[in-house]
């Protein structure tokens, strides 16, 4: 199953189910983990779309998410998010 261009449903802290659009997934040879970037399409106070990221594992049709806890991992994920965001912006400017 390819998670790109799909949606996932997660429960918030109140138990409400929220649907998120999967933006992209990527594997890191540095950490030997798979990551997923997703959004609920809400915007923050600066008008930017909120994007979330997690470590994911996939077993058949089930996807399990795990929090990214390491500062080093967050820096690597943020770098990928920045590169993808820049590529999208440049594509939109054409």
User: Considering the domain boundaries, does residue 56 fall inside one?
Assistant: yes
User: Considering the domain boundaries, does residue 73 fall inside one?
Assistant: yes
User: Considering the domain boundaries, does residue 29 fall inside one?
Assistant: yes
User: Considering the domain boundaries, does residue 65 fall inside one?
Assistant: yes
User: Considering the domain boundaries, does residue 2 fall inside one?
Assistant: no
Domain, as residue range, for 60: 7-93
pLDDT at residue 29, as a whole number: 93
- What is the rounded distance in angstroms from the CA atom of residue 38 to the CA atom of residue 7? 8
Neighbours of 53 (CB within 10 A): 20
User: Considering the domain boundaries, does residue 21 fall inside one?
Assistant: yes
Q: Which residues contact 17 (CB under 8 A, 6 or more apart)?
A: 9, 10, 11
Residues 42 and 19: beta-carbon distance below 8 Å: no
pTM value surpassing 0.85: no
pLDDT at residue 1, as a whole number: 44
pLDDT at residue 48, as a whole number: 87
Block mean pLDDT (10 aa), the chain, length 94: 72 90 92 94 92 91 89 94 87 71
Which secondary-structure segment (H or E) carries 1? none
**Domain count within the chain:** 1
pLDDT at residue 52, as a whole number: 94
């Amino acid at each position: 199953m390819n998670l790109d261009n799909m949606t996932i449903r997660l429960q918030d802290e109140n138990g409400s189910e929220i649907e998120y659009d999967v933006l992209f997934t990527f594997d890191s040879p540095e950490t030997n983990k798979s990551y997923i970037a997703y959004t609920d399409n809400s915007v923050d106070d600066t008008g930017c779309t909120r994007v979330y990221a997690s470590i994911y594992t996939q077993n058949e049709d089930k996807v399990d998410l795990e929090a990214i806890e390491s500062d080093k991992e967050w820096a690597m994920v943020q770098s990928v998010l920045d590169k993808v965001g820049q590529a999208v912006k440049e594509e939109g400017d054409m």
